[in-house]
Structure 1
Amino acid sequence: MTSRFTRETEKTLRGAGWYPGRTVDTAVWRVPLEESGFVFPEAAERFLAEFGGLSVDHGGPGLTRAKEPFEFDPLLALGEDDRFGEWGASVGRVIAPLGELDRGRFFLGIDENSVIYLVADWLASFGAGDEGLEHLVLGVMPERVRAS
């Protein structure tokens, strides 16, 4: 096991098909989404190159909220460019889609600083980078983000 993630997070991600050094072509998601109005910062490209296409179907108690299934397929947000654009403008960030949380109940997004968001009629942050991914996997309640 690597020390990048907790043992539980690494086990969950490996079970979904992730492995250290994994790289996938992001054009399959980026091109159709950019054509529909989304903007993809470099952080979104890096995240999707490593984790894009993974689906975690777990549940049960987490650290501060229930663990919920999630899928890193940004095409699930097609047609939601206005929602992502409005939230991004309200917090002064570009937020690109990552996929869905809880089988479509919420969207997942990422900004240019690698902050991972729950995107709905409200916005919440799981944190940045690996920490944000850990929080998503382990069932940590995201912090509500107030628009500026």
Structure 2
Amino acid sequence: MPRFSQEVEGVLRRSGWLPDRRVDLARWKVLAAEFTWHAAAEKFLQEFGGLRVDIGGPGITCAREPFEFDPELAVGEGERFAELSGLFGLRFFPLGEVGQGEFFLAIDEEGAVYLLGAGASRYGVGDLALERLVTGVAPERLSPPT
């Protein structure tokens, strides 16, 4: 069974992704030192870091929006990430941005990808998150634990 749907694999390949792609994280480890790196962030960014996916138009349950995987885009937002991590009891690490920079993309220690703004919404883990981002499936809004 293929890893991605044909549509999603095509979009990712046009954006510069190839199977077994490996990105050197050294530059980001210096620039994004205000964030605590974890294994899931490293694994994801080694494969998808630096990709900018230029998509648009209607999706399955929401509009498709461009997104970029570059943790440097969140530099200076360490306090915001720490606050949201504390609020939801998760360790969010920045992956990049979605749209025109209105929202951040983040990953937790389990590999789930999130849309962060005033709150947090979950796309899913790893490849499922990419499928949903590319095809325009709205993430599931999280409620802070009580």
TM normalised by structure 2 equals: 0.96
Please report how far the alpha carbon of residue 114 of structure 1 lies from its aligned counterpart in structure 2 after TM superposition: 0.5
Q: Quote the Cα distance in structure 1 between the aligned partners of 2:74 and 2:142.
A: 20
Q: Within 5 A, what are the aligned runs for 1:64-143?
A: 64-143=61-140
Aligned AA (1:74): P
Identity %: 51
Residues 16-95 of structure 1 mapped to structure 2, 5 A cutoff: 16-34=15-33, 37-95=34-92
Distance 1:76 1:27 in 2: 16
Where does structure 1 differ by over 6 angstroms across 4 or more consecutive aligned residues? Answer: none
* Partner Cα separation in structure 2 for residue 137 and residue 86 of structure 1: 28
Query: C-alpha distance in 1, partners of 2:100/2:47?
Result: 21
User: Matched residue of 2:23: which SS?
Assistant: coil
Q: 2:3 matched to which residue of 1?
A: 4
Work out the number of aligned pairs and report it: 145
Q: Note the C-alpha offset of 1:140.
A: 0.4
Q: Distance in 1 between matches of 2:65 and 2:85?
A: 24
Tell me by how many angstroms 1:105 deviates: 1.1
Cα deviation, 1:91-128, whole Å, max 9, x if unaligned, reads: 22110000000020111000100110101111101111
Which SS does the other structure have where 2:32 is aligned? helix
**Secondary structure in 2 aligned to 1:100?**
strand
The one-letter code of the counterpart of 1:23 is R
Give the counterpart letter for 1:136 in structure 2. Answer: L
- How many angstroms apart in 1 are the aligned matches of 2:29 and 2:116? 18
Q: Secondary structure at the match of 1:140?
A: coil
SS at match of 1:125: strand
Shift of 1:30: 2.1
Alpha carbon RMSD of aligned pairs, Å?
Answer: 1.0
Distance 1:57 1:103 in 2: 11
Question: Counterpart of 1:26 in structure 2: which amino acid?
Answer: L
Task: Describe the superposition over 1:4-45 as per-residue Cα deviations: whole angstroms up to 9, x where unpaired.
Answer: 0011110000000000000011121122212xx211110000
